[in-house]
Structure 1
Amino acid sequence: MEIRRNEDYSVAWVCALTEELIAATCALDDEYGPAEYLTGDTNTYTLGCIGGHNVVICSLPKSVNGTIAASSAVVNLLRTFPNIRFGLLVGIGGGVPSIRHDISLGDVVVSSPGNGFRGVLQHDHGKWLEDQGFKLTGSLNKPPILILSAVSTLEAGHWVKGNGIKRFIESMVTKYPRLRQQYFPDEESSGAAGDPKERAALPRPRPEPEIHYGLIASGSSLIKNRHIRDELGEKFDVLCVEMEAAGVMDNLPCLVIRGISDFADPFKNDQWKGYAAAAAAGYAKELLYTVPKEGVKRLSTAGP
């Protein structure tokens, strides 16, 4: 492994689950290491490069997730790696299917500004008003314009040539056959449990994952309630719900990338967790190949 200084890293890749960390590590072109740890830093890091960018992968502690854990991890990361310019928060999320958004298992949602929000809204942060009910307040940070420009460029390329997500997943399980069962399950199954009629109505996986751009709702509590999910979709045009972004965005200018592993309802289970994590990692890898290295050098550092 090649050894590099902590000061040489400019991109942070943050993930919460073991399945997400495995997919992130598989996305590296080369792996470096180890990091030089500062006193008090309780994170562990995987170091490497993608598309010429030096990348720090930081995963949350086992079975400890949510906004508080994510915020603590990012604060430590920025102390240890002082030249981080931006972050990618990459992993799984719950889809919010609707007539407007045909979201299926294994698809990818990328945070994009809309409805007065900068890409991510904190769905459990607001105030109760007597005549309006619960009203969201505050606005989370957004990634640098350079990253949003790269997102637009990649989107245009995908319209013409298609995306490489499924190729990435196939290459991953071919290189590491032990991952196939977890990261490439039977595409004919939705993986849901419960009433067969309701299960049959769920959007099923596609032969090729699609990418959606729009708002992501983040909060400290897990959503397994379709009524809450649908209300977020109808009121704010949310495409996805997750649990870490609200703890990251104001500490680290960050793009959120979520593979859809469930639909945030009582049918939620783990069958498509690996595939969704790998789909999100495949998009993140393509994006880093699109982001110009010289442009990243001109960005301000994200740390204090």
Structure 2
Amino acid sequence: MQSVLNETTINEYYEWAWMTANATNLGETIGPIYEKAINHCLDGNELEARQDLLYEKVVLPLQELYCAYKDDWDIQENPIQDPTAQETQQPKQVSFRLTGRPQFSIAIFCALPLEATAVNDIFDDVWNEERENSWRSAGDENTYTFGRIVCYNVVLVHMGDMGKNAASQATAGIKASYPEIKLALIVGICGGVPTYSTADKDEMILGDIVISDGIVRYDFGKQFPDTYMSRAAPEVVALPNHRVRGILAKLKGERVKERMERRISQHVQALQDELGTRGSVYVGTDRDELFHPSYPHKHQDPDVCAVCNIKGSERVCEKARTMSCDELGCEKSSLTPRKRLYEASMGGCTPKPKIHFGHVGSGDTVMKSGQHRDKTASPWKLVAFEMEASGVWDMLPCLVIKGVCDYSDSHKNKSWQEYAATTAAACVRAVLEEYVIAQ
């Protein structure tokens, strides 16, 4: 709260607000709304159902109301009170104006345009970008989008490239311009590690979301003549700070996690209803293909390509690297069956995105090998690989929230990128709805 208000001013403001309310027909409109809220509270027979209804029908609307009137805190002119006026006093005229730039508490980093587009779609308000130059510090070369998501003033950072160096440069710029940032979210797409858990309830499929509880710089190590060894030292694993650990402690709770997953599905559906087929459509259970880690992505017919079929060799021709599994003839018999996909297919429905918490591998190397994926992920039980977190993590309180668009193997393609970016953006909104960050 920027303006300094004494007790008299505050009392006068609330007196004016009360009289304004009484001068309108709010009594006729508030009553039905209140009654509707009470009825929502009484719906449902089970405690959990009532709690969910309370959260969705009462808590979230109140949160939105709070956001709607948040700008009224910056009052520059006090209400003028007529000391001779009594109960017949008319509503007072109060002047409001925005002083300086808003206080931004959340920064969102996106490396790819499709990631930023998905995040932009979940903004409640997008502000006039002509103000951008007046809000930035000298030397800050970042490109931003400003707006509001739920209760938070958010600045979206459009990174110029992928990787930790680009992320580090973007972080330095935003810290100079917006030192009040309390949480950085690295949002977009990632390569998943489907073998991180053998439990059916933790089974990972494309479109699921990964939230980091630590990052591992997996490309930090030593290169020997015969092999590369990641350095298994404490500095490789970066854990979140105290504030972020508190956020994670709540988000990992079973009830909260389930509620967030329901909200993610609702937000994805809302985006589908609003935007149609643009990016938010589920690709299909039959297109979610997880091959055995040792099964290569290359020409399977020796008559088509001799390079890909040299006996005893793992060589792959350059043309094969850019071709799809269908074009190469990758055998469906080498696919790993998944229970969640089977159940969704039999039920004729779309699988609901799930959240996976765990360590995320961050480095400048794109992981495109099932065997190297599992070998690298195993020591730290990684759930995913991405490329930007290590450039932000040490400079801002940070969470990685990314949608799984491939399985970090040689069969990866871009078919799932837009849908995964959409589920990640929906998860960002669910996180900000769930946890109130100290302003």
Q: Do they fold alike, i.e. is TM over 0.5?
A: yes
What residue number does 2:331 align with? 196
Instruction: Map 1:48-59; keep pairs closer than 5 Å.
Output: 48-59=147-158
CA separation of 1:160/1:79 partners in 2, compared to 1, >3 Å: closer, same or farther? closer
1:261 aligns with 2:261: no
What residue number does 1:282 align with? 426
Instruction: Map 1:137-216; keep pairs closer than 5 Å.
Output: 137=233, 138-139=235-236, 141-156=238-253, 157-159=255-257, 161=259, 162-177=261-276, 180-190=277-287, 193-194=324-325, 195-197=330-332, 200-201=335-336, 207-216=351-360
**SS class of match (1:22):** helix
- In structure 2, the gaps of 5 or more residues are 1-70, 72-97, 290-323, 345-349
What residue number does 1:301 align with? none
Between Structure 1 and Structure 2, the one with more helix by share is: 2
- TM-score scaled by structure 1? 0.84
What residue number does 1:115 align with? none
- Deviation string 1:79-123 (CA, Å, 9 cap, x unpaired) is 1112111211111100111143521100111111xxxxxx10000
Quote the offset at 1:181 in angstroms: 4.5
CA separation of 1:262/1:4 partners in 2, compared to 1, >3 Å: closer, same or farther? farther
Distance 1:218 1:202 in 2: 28
Distance 1:128 1:275 in 2: 37
Distance 2:181 2:170 in 1: 14
- Residue number among 416, 419, 422 corresponding to 1:272 in the alignment: 416
Distance 2:241 2:264 in 1: 24
State which drifts further: 242-251 or 228-237.
Answer: 228-237
Give the AA of the match of 1:169: V
1:135 aligns with 2:231: yes
Quote the offset at 1:129 in angstroms: 8.5
**Structure with more relative contact order (C-alpha pairs < 8 Å, separation 6 or more):** 1
What residue number does 2:379 align with? 235
Distance 1:282 1:69 in 2: 25
- Deviation string 1:33-69 (CA, Å, 9 cap, x unpaired) is 33223333221111112221111111212xx211111
CA separation of 1:274/1:122 partners in 2, compared to 1, >3 Å: closer, same or farther? same
Conserved 8 A contact 1:107-1:210: yes
State which drifts further: 48-57 or 204-213.
Answer: 204-213
Give the AA of the match of 1:218: S
Quote the offset at 1:155 in angstroms: 3.6
- Deviation string 1:168-196 (CA, Å, 9 cap, x unpaired) is 1121122122xx25321432332564213
Distance 2:157 2:267 in 1: 21
What residue number does 1:107 align with? 208
What residue number does 2:362 align with? 218
CA separation of 1:238/1:198 partners in 2, compared to 1, >3 Å: closer, same or farther? farther
Alignment length, in residue pairs?
284
**SS class of match (2:231):** strand
What residue number does 2:393 align with? 249
CA separation of 1:269/1:133 partners in 2, compared to 1, >3 Å: closer, same or farther? closer
Give the AA of the match of 1:135: R
- TM-score scaled by structure 2? 0.59
Between Structure 1 and Structure 2, the one with more strand by share is: 1
Conserved 8 A contact 1:13-1:90: yes
Instruction: Map 1:68-79; keep pairs closer than 5 Å.
Output: 68-79=165-176
Conserved 8 A contact 1:16-1:59: yes
Quote the offset at 1:198 in angstroms: 6.0
